[in-house]
């Protein structure tokens, strides 16, 4: 059994890193940060044209190698093709499972196709990515997988039941694989953002007292997690202690506080007009 290499992950320059959903939002912000830090980055995204444009732009801006290829994270065969297409960056040191979709609405009105798509991208994408990349990490005795989950993967809210379920599953998968892969020198971390100012959260209000964060703020935490691995980090960081404290409260008190903060209605109160373009895209890829 290989032993962990304790210092390999402390620097980013020269690492080979895959970022899924890297053509826009949190993914693109993460690619930009990692490229500026000197990593060789591969963008995987279903929108191959947008991914190629992002890779070219970031390469030009940073002077660092950024490549891209089409990737449907829900398809294991697509992972095989993608890793072959970006093999030029070398063996993968870090995998950032970031790709995700968030169609909103009542679970009783949600079509089977939309529910399947949410689970396929948000959960199967993480599972498939881990299965595709972790064996190589295991052979080399080191690696790091970072799964971008969500605050609603710990604190569920109405009008996003399937999305929340998919993120709860990512949390469970991350915790299980962390224990399973640690003996082989592979770190598994998860990052849980609250409301992020990206297209995915268009029109979604933040809970009272919780200011929305930017994609770059999430990317900053992902970069910090690569430099110094942690099992679980929230964005903003202080929200983690609030959520964990709430878990210790009686359910009625917890629900009352959530209602006071309007945390229980953030998805139900989303502005449909502001979300229209995003909802159309993810519901009809």
Helix axes 76-85, 125-140, angle to 10 degrees: 50
Given a contact cutoff of 8 angstroms between Cβ atoms, the answer to whether 6 and 144 are in contact is no
Active-site residue, 184 included: no
Cα(190)–Cα(145) distance, rounded to whole angstroms?
8
Neighbours of 82 (CB within 10 A): 25
Task: Identify the active-site residue in 79, 82, 163, 168.
Answer: 163
- The kind and range of the H/E element at 20 are strand 16-20
Name the 3-class secondary structure at 107: helix
Token pair of 32, please? 């930009």
Q: Which pairs with CB-CB distance under 8 Å and at least 24 residues apart come from 214-219?
A: 214/29, 215/25, 215/26, 215/28, 215/29, 216/29, 216/32, 216/33, 218/26, 218/29, 218/30, 218/148, 218/191, 218/193, 219/26, 219/29, 219/30, 219/32, 219/33
61 φ/ψ angles, rounded to the nearest 5 degrees: -70, -35
DSSP state string for 125-182:
HHHHHHHHHHHHHHHHT-EEEEEE--GGGTS--TT-HHHHHHHHHHHHHHHHHHHHHG
Active site residues: 163
């Amino acid at each position: 059994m290989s032993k962990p290499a304790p210092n390999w992950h402390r620097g980013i320059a020269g690492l080979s890193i895959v970022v899924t959903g890297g053509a826009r939002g949190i993914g693109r912000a993460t690619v930009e940060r990692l490229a500026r830090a000197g990593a060789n980055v591969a963008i995987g995204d279903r929108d191959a044209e947008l991914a190629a444009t992002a890779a070219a732009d970031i390469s030009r801006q940073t002077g660092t190698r950024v490549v891209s290829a089409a990737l449907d994270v829900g398809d294991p065969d697509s992972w095989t093709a993608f890793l072959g297409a970006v093999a030029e960056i070398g063996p993968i040191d870090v995998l950032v499972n970031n790709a995700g979709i968030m169609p909103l609405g009542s679970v009783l009105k949600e079509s089977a196709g939309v529910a399947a798509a949410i689970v396929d991208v948000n959960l199967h994408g993480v599972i498939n990515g881990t299965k595709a990349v972790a064996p190589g990490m295991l052979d080399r005795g080191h690696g790091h997988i970072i799964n971008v989950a969500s605050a609603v993967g710990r604190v569920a809210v109405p009008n996003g039941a399937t999305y929340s379920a998919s993120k709860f599953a990512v949390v469970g998968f991350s915790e299980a694989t962390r224990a399973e892969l640690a003996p082989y020198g592979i770190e598994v971390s998860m990052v849980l953002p609250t409301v992020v100012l990206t297209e995915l959260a268009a029109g979604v209000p933040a809970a009272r007292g919780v200011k929305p964060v930017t994609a770059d703020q999430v990317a900053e935490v992902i970069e910090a997690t690569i430099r110094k691995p942690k099992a679980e980090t929230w964005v903003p960081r202080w929200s983690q202690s609030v959520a964990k404290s709430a878990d210790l409260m009686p359910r009625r008190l917890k629900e009352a506080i959530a209602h006071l903060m309007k945390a229980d209605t953030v998805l139900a109160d989303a502005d449909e007009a502001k979300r229209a373009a995003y909802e159309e895209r993810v519901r009809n890829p």
